[in-house]
């Protein structure tokens, strides 16, 4: 799927973004010309990312460093703000994994928990701003919270920038940047400006992934209507680059039987060689071979 090229921000756009961020985020920061150049570069890279995996890796890596954070967490939650998947900057992943249960248990004590949860309905609120944790709570109060003792202190977290980047009926995604010190107003402003770009790219990549999944299902249905069960299984492994003998080992059948299945599927699909089968169908079958055999 083609995408429109993304151009660097001109000065008028920079000023508009800064004004919008400043009016929707409690910060008084400002950016120098050099910081605008670096922000331009980050935005260009962000919009060039082609897969959800690359996007998540960039956000948890280079973008986190750009904001001056120690690490970031990609928190996928249900409609009650219970974390169902937490991905973190690689250097911190092993330290955070044992704390996920404590995070879910102590999250209601977090100073921003009520900001994101409507207690009357018990569901997540839509929040359009980037929130800084320590703007909502004094240091001594923050350090007395169960969240601080069980999660923040072990990870040396003293401040956070939190942005909602996805929300749906079944839950959403909170992106959280963590620091051992207070975030500066300028770092807060950078995060506020970047949030719109993160949302836009996240939405586009998710839409493309959903479209690909739908088309993959249609392709698989057509193939299963055309091929026999064994021929379809053979084709799945063929598209992973396995030889006929390797496919035979996977399926527990002889190489000669695999040869026959390959000949039959080529004839039914009207394709003259396995290389063209791979070129035409591998992208649609790449997520199915781990589910068979």
Confidence at residue 286, expressed as pLDDT on a 0 to 100 scale: 74
- 3-state SS, the chain, equals CCCCCCCCCCHHHHHHHHHHHHHHCCCCCCCCHHHHHHHHHHHHHHHHCCCHHHHHHHHHHHHHHHCCCCEEEEEEEECCCCEEEEEECHHHHHHHHHHHHHHHHHHHHCCCHHHHEECCCCEECCCCCCEEHHHCCCHHHHHCCHHHHHHHHHHCCCEEEEEEEEEECCEEEEEEEEECCCCCHHHHHHHHHHHHHHHHHHHHHHHHHHHHHHHHHHHHHHHHHHCCHHHHHHHHHHCCCCCHHHHHHHHCCCHHHHHHHHHHHHHHHCCCCHHHHHHHHHHHHCCCHHHCC
Confidence at residue 128, expressed as pLDDT on a 0 to 100 scale: 86
Where in the sequence is the domain holding 114, given as residue range(s)?
11-210
Task: Say whether both 30 and 148 belong to one domain.
Answer: yes
Q: Which of 280, 277, 251 is nearest to 266 (CA)?
A: 277
Does residue 216 lie within any of the structural domains?
no
Instruction: Provide the CATH number for the domain around residue 99.
Output: 3.30.450.80
Confidence at residue 73, expressed as pLDDT on a 0 to 100 scale: 93
d(CA 160, CA 183): 7
Task: Say whether both 151 and 42 belong to one domain.
Answer: yes
Task: Say whether both 201 and 234 belong to one domain.
Answer: no
Last residue of a domain, one of 162, 185, 210: 210
Does residue 96 lie within any of the structural domains?
yes
Task: Say whether both 259 and 185 belong to one domain.
Answer: no
Task: Say whether both 260 and 189 belong to one domain.
Answer: no
Confidence at residue 196, expressed as pLDDT on a 0 to 100 scale: 92
Does residue 4 lie within any of the structural domains?
no
Residues 142-159 pLDDT 10s = 999 999 999 999 999 999
Task: Say whether both 141 and 234 belong to one domain.
Answer: no
Task: Say whether both 185 and 88 belong to one domain.
Answer: yes
Q: Which of 141, 147, 74, 140 is nearest to 110 (CA)?
A: 147
Residue ranges of the chain whose pLDDT lies below 50: 1-7, 22-23, 289-293
Confidence at residue 97, expressed as pLDDT on a 0 to 100 scale: 87
> Tokens 């990609």 map to which residue?
74
> What pTM value is reported for the model?
0.73
């Amino acid at each position: 799927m083609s995408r429109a090229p993304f151009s660097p921000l001109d000065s008028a756009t920079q000023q508009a973004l800064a004004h919008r961020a400043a009016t929707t985020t409690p910060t008084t920061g400002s950016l120098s010309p050099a910081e605008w150049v670096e922000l331009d570069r980050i935005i260009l890279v962000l919009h060039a990312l082609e897969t959800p995996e690359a996007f998540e890796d960039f956000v948890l890596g280079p973008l986190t460093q750009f904001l001056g954070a120690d690490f970031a967490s990609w928190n996928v939650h249900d409609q009650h703000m219970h974390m169902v998947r937490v991905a973190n900057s690689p250097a911190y992943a092993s330290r955070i994994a044992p704390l996920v249960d404590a995070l879910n248990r102590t999250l209601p004590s977090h100073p921003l928990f009520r900001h994101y949860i409507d207690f009357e309905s018990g569901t997540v609120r839509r929040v359009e701003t980037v929130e800084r944790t320590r703007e909502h709570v004094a240091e001594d109060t923050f350090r007395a919270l169960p969240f601080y003792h069980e999660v923040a202190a072990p990870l040396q977290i003293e401040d956070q920038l939190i942005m909602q980047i996805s929300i749906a009926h079944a839950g959403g995604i909170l992106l959280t940047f963590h620091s051992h010190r207070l975030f500066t107003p300028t770092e807060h402003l950078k995060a506020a400006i970047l949030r719109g770009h993160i949302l836009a790219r996240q939405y586009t990549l998710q839409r493309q992934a959903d479209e690909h999944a739908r088309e993959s299902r249609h392709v698989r249905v057509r193939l299963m209507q055309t091929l026999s069960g064994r021929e379809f299984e053979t084709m799945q492994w063929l598209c992973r680059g396995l030889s006929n003998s390797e496919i035979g080992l996977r399926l527990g059948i002889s190489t000669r039987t695999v040869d026959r299945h390959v000949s039959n599927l080529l004839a039914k699909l009207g394709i003259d060689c396995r290389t063209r089968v791979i070129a035409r169908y591998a992208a649609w079958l790449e997520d199915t071979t781990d589910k068979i055999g």
